[in-house]
Amino acid sequence: MSIARETKERSLRSIPTVLGLLGIVAAAGGLVLGGPVWLGLAGVALGGLYLFGTPVLAVVFGQIALIAVDAPSLRTLALVEGGLFIVLLSRAVATHHSRAAGGLVALVVPLLGGLTWLSLERWSLDPLPVGAVLLTGVAVVGYLLHRYLLLELDIVTEDPASDSDFQ
């Protein structure tokens, strides 16, 4: 592999990381603005999960941390959800199937954020069930994306008999 190609691939990987970190900073700032100062530690955890874990794990943790902010204001919700949206979008941009992944992120994140706000602010539900539903929603969407990519990459096909060599 040539040096120019390696440099180009490395620079393409660093762009989503910088974009994702900006999203983490926005989400952490929203948490601190909307709740107690100790939620700044949640922002540090978000950054660690993004850098050393996966962006999806960081978003799930960010959604749960948003539940910890009791009845978030619209400004807090917009900052946290916007930051988490950028984090997921940064990962979607880095995938080979960026159109499908980006579309999924663009649909699911605002939907889950809106449901969170409605549940906590308007319907006055308890935070624990709301967090459980959010976690379940993110897990289902992640699994569906995983299955879609397996089919798209021809690792698994619609006919189970043709997948016998993978078992």
The domain spans of the chain are 3-166
| The predicted structure's pLDDT at residue 25 | 93
CA distance 115 to 156: 33
Q: Is 157 left (phi over 0), alpha (psi -120 to 50) or beta?
A: beta
Q: Among candidates 28, 14, 26, 154, which has minimal Cα distance to 93? A: 14
CA–CA dist 117, 76 (Å, integer): 10
Q: Residue 141: which pLDDT band, with cuts at 50, 70 and 90?
A: confident
Measuring CA to CA, how many Å separate 46 from each of 27, 41, 63? 9, 9, 10
Q: What angle do CA 120, 136, 67 make, to 5 degrees?
A: 30
140, pLDDT greater than 60: yes
Mean pLDDT on 140-156 = 77
What's the pLDDT score for residue 40?
82
- Whole-model pTM: value is 0.58
The segment with the largest mean pLDDT, out of 10-24, 115-129, 152-166, is 115-129
1-60 pLDDT, tens digit per residue, is: 455 555 545 544 555 678 888 999 999 998 888 777 788 888 889 888 888 888 888 888
Q: What pLDDT, on the 0 to 100 scale, is given for residue 12?
A: 46
Is the pLDDT confidence value at 123 over 90? no
How many helices (DSSP H) and strands (DSSP E) are in the chain?
A: 6, 0
Q: What is the pLDDT of residue 110?
A: 77
State the burial class of residue 47 (Cβ atoms within 10 Å of its Cβ: 0-12, 13-18, 19+): middle
Say if CB 39 and CB 32 are below 8 A apart.
Answer: yes
Contacts of residue 89, defined as CB under 8 A and 6 or more positions apart, other chains included, come to: 19, 23, 102, 105, 106
Confirm if 134 and 62 have CB atoms less than 8 A apart. Answer: no
pLDDT, tens digit, for every residue of 80-114? 888 988 888 887 777 666 666 667 767 777 777 77
